[in-house]
Structure 1
Amino acid sequence: MKTLNFGLPKGSLQESTIDMMKKAGYTVRVNSRSYYPTIDDDEITIRLIRPQDMSRFVEKGIIDAGLTGADWVKEAGSDVKVVVNLVYAKQQLTKVKWVLAVPEDSEIRSVQDLNNKSIATELVNVTRQYLAEKGIVADIEFSHGATEAKAPALVDAIVELTETGSSLRANKLRIIDTIMESATQLITNHQSWKDDWKRTKIENLAMLFEGAIIAREKVGLKMNVPGDSLEKVLKQLPALRKPTVSTLSEGAGYAVETMVDQSIARNIIPALIRAGAEGIIEYPLNKVIL
């Protein structure tokens, strides 16, 4: 039987990725002592791989496809096929940023002030390229971790990944520039992409993953509407697509079903009731395939 070798990002993205895959229809189970999770699809084998290493293993064909950040693909300089960008992170549905930061009381106010200064980061190659484009010469050293704690005692500045900025603020650091934004990417190597079976399998994953992410910000609404209230109710619905309207038996009115952003459902529901809707049901979604 043919199988697709798939790389699951180990570390901060691991749990949110497993949750996303569950919404997409795949149950992944991880044993804390094993780098080989199980999945309820006999056509897929999974290996846990650090996001920093993922693109290199994909490029070499050691694994067929995997999920990692655009930042690590750029850092490694890997020649891979980006199948789809998936905007989700550890805490929320958003891109993450690599930022240049200095202590709050530092005299460094801009990138130009970094000439002949020292910078700690895990994103060495991207940082070096960024500074070169700015015409800045600085000492860039690789940071193995706890980067926020290294300024000002050990280095003048840091380049660090942030999702909300809370860790930087807690360590009294001030952002002076954003080096790059990054999102999770589903990547594959060119050889696997040329294989018709593997390409179809990867495209299926991309479709389902994207649908699961879109669904996290949407909810479904179902309601009954008397015949004389239908027009007023429909005017209250900012649907992703036109609502589904079907006739109830015995001329009792209409059944209306639609999908809306979760953030506005709480405002729409009272307006729907006032417009004449009855028996409103709000329900979560697993996947939204556009």
Structure 2
Amino acid sequence: MSKLKIAIQKSGRLSENSLRLIQECGIKIPNGGGKLITESTNFPVEILFLRDDDIPQYVEQKVADIGIIGENVLIETRKNLVVIQKLGFSACRLSLAVAKEVDYKDLSYFNGKKVATSYPSILEDYFQENNIKATIEFISGSVEIATGIGLADGICDIVSSGSTLFSNGLKEVEKVLSSQAVLVAAEKLDSEKQQILDKLLFRIRSVQKAKESKYILLNAPNQNLERIIKILPGMNSPTILPLAQEGWSSLHSVISEDKFWDIIEELKGAGAEGILVVPIEKMIL
């Protein structure tokens, strides 16, 4: 039986988040114990643990069928891959930074300057789009020390919280690119592997949808039901159950995470009481 080969980063935050997503999809992965490849015990997939920079090449060459990488790596490597699903985790940005004491006004500061980065292709495109003439110094790691040792006037590096920049005497001045984890593939798979991928994508999207939603239960007087129903659109319409107390009902629905607090305020204003909000583990549409 065919198995879908998934390449993920072998260590680090992206690896942890990728494995967590796979587990949330109900796929059991045994402890690899340092192995570079392992098989699920209950789903037809193999996991290849690789360096993140190597994943695009392995997928392009069909050593792996699909891979989980950051958009920054995908763009930088310029491999012939397609994004089949954005995953919503490991969000970061690729930014330009200079020493804290620099009186930075705008992007023109970088004209005639040296900039150190591990992402020369992305930075070159960015400078060209903005008509900046700068020298790009490629560094494979520890980019943040480049200004301190006199190698460059600024850097372009991945930023999450900004604490690493701050601790190295730098300040972020321009965002070059926003990035998140994505699922990528080279081209259409054979029919058997495509079926496995479709099942995997169904599970991933169910997990993602659940994280974007909340299950809500509340009590409300019957005379206010129509008003409350308009506030609670839900997937179709809320479930309404009569309570033992005459003239009252219990409503059950699903609301979007990004509208959560606004909706709660509206519900309270419409007379809702005993509002209970519960996280959703999976959401099958």
Q: How far has the Cα of 1:240 moved from its partner?
A: 4.5
Matches within 5 A, 1:234-273: 234-237=229-232, 239-248=233-242, 254-262=249-257, 265=260, 272=267
Amino acid at match of 2:5: N
Q: Match of 1:58, SS?
A: helix
C-alpha distance in 2 between matches for 1:277 and 1:27: 42
C-alpha distance in 2 between matches for 1:152 and 1:235: 59
Aligned residues of 1:24 and 1:286 also touching (Cα < 8 A): no
Amino acid at match of 1:5: K
TM-score by length of 2: 0.83
C-alpha distance in 1 between matches for 2:266 and 2:178: 38
Q: 1:195 aligns with which of 171, 190, 206?
A: 190
Amino acid at match of 1:9: Q
Aligned residues of 1:58 and 1:66 also touching (Cα < 8 A): yes
1:83-129 alpha-carbon deviations (Å, 9 max, x no partner): 1222211xxxxx42111111121255433332342222111221122
What residue in structure 2 maps to residue 104 of structure 1?
100
Amino acid at match of 1:133: E
C-alpha distance in 1 between matches for 2:56 and 2:142: 24
Q: 2:173 aligns with which of 176, 180, 192?
A: 176
C-alpha distance in 1 between matches for 2:166 and 2:223: 56
What residue in structure 2 maps to residue 73 of structure 1?
74
Q: How far has the Cα of 1:148 moved from its partner?
A: 1.8
Segments of 5+ residues of structure 2 without an aligned counterpart are: none
Q: How far has the Cα of 1:251 moved from its partner?
A: 10
C-alpha distance in 1 between matches for 2:240 and 2:166: 53
Q: Match of 2:37, SS?
A: coil
1:5 and 2:5 are equivalent in the alignment: yes
Aligned residues of 1:245 and 1:254 also touching (Cα < 8 A): no
1:47-77 alpha-carbon deviations (Å, 9 max, x no partner): 1122222111111100001111121111111
Amino acid at match of 2:154: A
Q: How far has the Cα of 1:223 moved from its partner?
A: 3.7
Q: Match of 1:28, SS?
A: coil
What residue in structure 2 maps to residue 285 of structure 1?
280
Q: Give % identity.
A: 24
Matches within 5 A, 1:1-290: 1-10=1-10, 11-89=12-90, 95-107=91-103, 109-153=105-149, 154-190=151-187, 193-225=188-220, 227-237=222-232, 239-248=233-242, 254-262=249-257, 265=260, 272=267, 275=270, 277=272, 280-289=275-284
Give the direction of change, closer, same or farther, for the CA distance of 1:54–1:233 in structure 2 (3 Å limit).
same
Q: How far has the Cα of 1:233 moved from its partner?
A: 3.2
Amino acid at match of 2:237: P
Q: Match of 1:13, SS?
A: helix
Q: How far has the Cα of 1:262 moved from its partner?
A: 4.3
Relative to structure 2, which stretch is displaced further, 277-286 or 5-14? 277-286
C-alpha distance in 2 between matches for 1:78 and 1:30: 31
C-alpha distance in 2 between matches for 1:136 and 1:72: 23
RMSD (Å), alpha carbons:
3.0
Give the direction of change, closer, same or farther, for the CA distance of 1:244–1:236 in structure 2 (3 Å limit).
closer
Amino acid at match of 1:19: R
Amino acid at match of 2:239: V
C-alpha distance in 2 between matches for 1:32 and 1:155: 41
C-alpha distance in 2 between matches for 1:208 and 1:140: 42
Aligned residues of 1:4 and 1:198 also touching (Cα < 8 A): yes
C-alpha distance in 2 between matches for 1:99 and 1:265: 31
C-alpha distance in 2 between matches for 1:222 and 1:264: 16
C-alpha distance in 2 between matches for 1:278 and 1:137: 62
Q: How far has the Cα of 1:277 moved from its partner?
A: 4.8
Give the direction of change, closer, same or farther, for the CA distance of 1:283–1:28 in structure 2 (3 Å limit).
farther
Q: How far has the Cα of 1:232 moved from its partner?
A: 4.0
Q: How far has the Cα of 1:80 moved from its partner?
A: 1.3
Q: How far has the Cα of 1:230 moved from its partner?
A: 2.1
What residue in structure 2 maps to residue 92 of structure 1?
none
Q: How far has the Cα of 1:32 moved from its partner?
A: 4.6
Aligned residues of 1:96 and 1:161 also touching (Cα < 8 A): yes
1:12-32 alpha-carbon deviations (Å, 9 max, x no partner): 211122222333332334435
Amino acid at match of 2:175: T
C-alpha distance in 2 between matches for 1:271 and 1:134: 46
C-alpha distance in 2 between matches for 1:209 and 1:118: 42
